[in-house]
Chain A
Amino acid sequence: MTQTPTVAAIEERRPLTERLGRVRVASWATAALLIVAVVAAVALQPNLLSPYGVASTFATFLPLVLVAVAQAIVVIGGGLDLSAGAIVALSSVVAVQVMQGEAGSVPLGFLTAIGVGLACGIVNGLVVSRLRLQPLIATFATASVFSGLALLVLPSPGGTVPAIITGTFRQAVGGVPVSVLLVVAVAAGWLVVRHLRIMRHIRATGGGPAAAFASLVPVAGAQLASYAICGVICGLAGLAVLGNSGSGDPFIGGDLALNSVAAVVVGGIALRGGIGSPIGAIAGAITLSLASTILFALSLPTSWRALAAGLVVILALALSALGAPRRQR
């Protein structure tokens, strides 16, 4: 067989201007939305900028930020993970039960949460890549499995999280809140990961499985890897939920999966795969979370708040979808 250039290599050979042109519109919309959200939120609630405000805001955002990054990696790989929320719920309740509120078992709790996330991700990856089921419907089915297991592990909200986790979560290192550091760490982690071969394979698979396959990309392996990475990050999100709330809740995952998809779209990542960056998803998650902060600060009548939130989200989704590069006609 002759040397076939990989899809990623072809991508890199495109003229720089064309590559910029393809990326810029979507990222531009994402950045604009984020700036608008931040300015509006700070204008309405100036104490948001106080050290405490920043710390607690980021602490509440962190779970969605993490799940959005996880979702972004799957979406870039051409998949979709509706079970992300259920993985967060399952890994958090298992970790709570393992730790039993004891500081000594915190490392074990961390490993458990990540291990559970990884196991769930591998299940998803095998179902999608080996059984070749439609990701949407397959992960809907596995979400049912994972949330059932979460109910088995912890039938009702409760349990105690070791104080060291909740405490550290609210602390600051050198004046910077830990929650902010964690978001920055996630972004930095991506900057390292994106150069790995597996990430190039995931992106190539999302761009076009058939073409990637023809270019000797291990498509099934890349799909499996994308779901496995997603699972691990969801396990971390489970820990963030614990740090934030201080107790376990088997129902926590409810809206997380769909919200993470919304964050991914607002982040300029095309749902058909191959395009975008988890950094955008972080921006998208923060934008959406700020939107609800803003609506809360506007003191709208309670019954109108959900409609306003829905309209803001659909507007943000529409703007980002419009900005995203379109399929060639």
Chain B
Amino acid sequence: MKPTTATRARTLLRDPVVIAAVIAILLVVVGGILKPGFASPDQIVNMLRVASFLGIIAIGQTIVVLSGGEGIDLSVGTVATLGAILASRTMNGSDALLVPGILLAVGVAALIGLANGLGIVLLRIPPFVMTLGMLGVVGGLILVVTGGVADGRAAPSLVQLVNGRDVLGIPGILLVWALLAVVVTLVLRRTTFGMQLYATGSGREAARLSGVPVGRVTVTAYVLSSIFAALGGIAMVGYSQQVFLNLANDLTLPSIAAVVIGGTLVAGGVGGYLGSAIGAIVLTVLTSLLTTLSMPEWARIVVQGVVLIALLAVYGRQRKLRT
């Protein structure tokens, strides 16, 4: 039977990515009605810019969740902070040292991701436990590196990339994010690694029997997760220009929330990055909507929690036991 327009529309409306996108647009529209100026192009670009940090961190989180085996990375927030601290100390306000700073941050992050991956694959420590422990270790590393005082400044070109409006009036970081999104989606959908990642996430044993190097794929997923976390942290320094000891620590759980809102199954093997990117936008628009409505802090936190539950209840539900 040929799918009619109606059924096609119905399947489209059930697609979590579409739902998330609709919610994001609705939030912007509601914001625009409640607070004139909220939906202005300028403000939208601003929100997207803030969403890009969470979005870049969510790239790695998506890959880890897709790899299955209860995959989750609780250390991304602190790794992002560490990356930001290492990069800003190295560049210290000079463009010439921007690249070494980024390389150092990414290199250290890769080692942390490698440790996560090896612990999970070789020692078979559950991902939740391994990355929870790593959260504490990286928090300690941050104190050792900084001695408790964060210093260093972002390079002017990094600040310009995030805060400037260079390309057709939009900040360069949005182009970087868009480019990353395209590349990641292509890697996930079109490369051998992507296929192996989905296969691993859908069923480790089946993947292993089909010749997928399950261990190597899993380790790679955690290494990528830490690398993208560090990149997200560096982008954040471009925004704040100064680094703080807990700069990105609070982005861990939102990164997981973005992945879930984006329709990636927590069980692994199903989903993609586009949804997570939109999930990051939804969360950022929600936060800035609640902030612009000048609610008291407690109400903002409460509403954020309630809306997150409502969002998840729309489509993030798990299967019924009774079928």
**Contact A321/B305 with A132-B318, A140-B257, A307-B137 known, Cβ cut-off 8 Å:** no
Chain A neighbourhood of B313, CB < 8 A: 131, 133
Which one, A140, A142, A314, contacts B133 given CB within 8 A? A314
Chain A neighbourhood of B141, CB < 8 A: 307, 310
State which of B173-181, B227-235, B292-300 sits at the interface with chain A. B292-300
CB <8 Å contact, A133 and B302: no
**B148 contacts chain A at the CB level, 8 A cutoff:** yes
A141, A143, A150: most-surrounded residue (chain B CB, <10 A): A141
**Contact A306/B135 with A136-B72, A219-B321 known, Cβ cut-off 8 Å:** no
Which chain A residue shows the least CB distance to B299? A148
**A52 contacts chain B at the CB level, 8 A cutoff:** no
**Contact A310/B302 with A317-B125, A321-B123 known, Cβ cut-off 8 Å:** no
* Residues of B308-323 whose CB lies within 8 A of A: 308-309, 312-313, 316-322
Chain B neighbourhood of A258, CB < 8 A: 74, 132, 135
Bound-state CA distance A213–B322 (Å) is: 8
CB <8 Å contact, B298 and A148: yes
**B256 contacts chain A at the CB level, 8 A cutoff:** yes
B316 to chain A: closest CB distance in Å?
A: 6
**B306 contacts chain A at the CB level, 8 A cutoff:** yes
**B188 contacts chain A at the CB level, 8 A cutoff:** no
Chain B neighbourhood of A262, CB < 8 A: 129, 132-133
Bound-state CA distance A303–B125 (Å) is: 28
Interface size in chain A (residues, C-beta < 8 A)? 51
Bound-state CA distance A130–B117 (Å) is: 35
**A137 contacts chain B at the CB level, 8 A cutoff:** yes
B286 to chain A: closest CB distance in Å?
A: 11
CB <8 Å contact, A133 and B298: no
* Residues of A267-310 whose CB lies within 8 A of B: 271-272, 302-310
Chain B neighbourhood of A38, CB < 8 A: none
**Contact A141/B308 with A147-B301, A304-B144, A318-B119 known, Cβ cut-off 8 Å:** yes
**A232 contacts chain B at the CB level, 8 A cutoff:** no
- A 131-160 to B, binary, CB cutoff 8 A, 1 in contact else 0: 111101110111111111111100100000
CB <8 Å contact, A307 and B143: yes
CB <8 Å contact, B129 and A313: no
Bound-state CA distance A210–B318 (Å) is: 13
CB <8 Å contact, A152 and B298: yes
A138 to chain B: closest CB distance in Å?
A: 7
A145, A150, A326: most-surrounded residue (chain B CB, <10 A): A145
Which chain A residue shows the least CB distance to B260? A137
Which one, A145, A146, A303, A314, contacts B147 given CB within 8 A? A303
Bound-state CA distance A326–B125 (Å) is: 10
Which chain B residue shows the least CB distance to A151? B298
Bound-state CA distance A82–B254 (Å) is: 13
Chain A neighbourhood of B72, CB < 8 A: 136
B147, B297, B321: most-surrounded residue (chain A CB, <10 A): B321
B110 to chain A: closest CB distance in Å?
A: 18
Bound-state CA distance A134–B144 (Å) is: 36
Chain B neighbourhood of A132, CB < 8 A: 317-320
**A176 contacts chain B at the CB level, 8 A cutoff:** no
**A88 contacts chain B at the CB level, 8 A cutoff:** no
In the complex, the 10 A-B pairs of residues with the closest C-beta atoms, listed nearest first: A307-B140, A144-B305, A314-B133, A148-B301, A310-B136, A148-B302, A310-B137, A145-B305, A306-B140, A151-B298
> Could you show 13 A-B contacts with beta carbons less than 8 Å apart?
A132-B317, A132-B319, A133-B312, A136-B266, A140-B256, A140-B257, A142-B305, A152-B299, A213-B321, A265-B132, A306-B139, A310-B140, A326-B124
Write the residues of chain B forming the contact surface with A, with a CB cutoff of 8 angstroms: 70, 72, 74, 119, 123-126, 128-130, 132-144, 146-148, 205, 253, 256-257, 260, 266, 296-306, 308-309, 312-313, 316-322
